[in-house]
Amino acid sequence: MAGDNRQVRTSRCPYCSHRLDAASAVDGSGAAPVPGDYSVCVNCGGFLRFISRLRLARITATHLKGMDSETLAELAHAQRAIFAAKKRAR
Ligand SMILES: [Zn+2]
């Protein structure tokens, strides 16, 4: 995964309550997240989206349906990387 993490407003994962204060663009661009962008929780692998003031919200079934396949593949890839890293850490 790209190493250029961006500090973001501290927010809790809506799935596992893990404190999240950094994000890295899945495309490796180093771009800072904006509302509407998607993310994956580094703790539980839950799919997230940035909403106003860069707070984090769950991705609903409606969002998943409207997501293009490339974005979905990037999220799934990031989720697999997180699960693999957690498995190695055990
Ligand atoms: Zn989480």
As a whole number of angstroms, the distance between CA 69 and CA 90 comes to 32
How does pLDDT run across 16-58, given as a tens digit for each residue? 999 998 776 666 677 888 899 999 999 999 999 999 988 999 9
Of residues 60 and 90, the one with the higher pLDDT is: 60
* Percent of the chain's residues with pLDDT above 90: 61
- How much distance in Å is there from the Cα of 70 to the middle of ligand 1? 22
- The answer to whether the beta carbons of residues 14 and 51 sit under 8 Å apart is no
What single DSSP character describes residue 54?
Answer: G
Read off the pLDDT of each residue in 5-10 and give the average, rounded to a whole number: 78
Q: What is the Cα–Cα distance from 24 to 28, expressed in whole angstroms?
A: 7
Q: Which domains, and CATH codes, for the chain?
A: 6-89 (2.20.28.160)
Each residue of 9-46: b (16+ CB within 10 Å) or e?
eebebeeeeeebeebbbbeeeeeebeeebbbbbbebbb
Taking the centre of ligand 1 as the mean of its atom positions, its distance from the CA of residue 48, in whole angstroms, is: 9
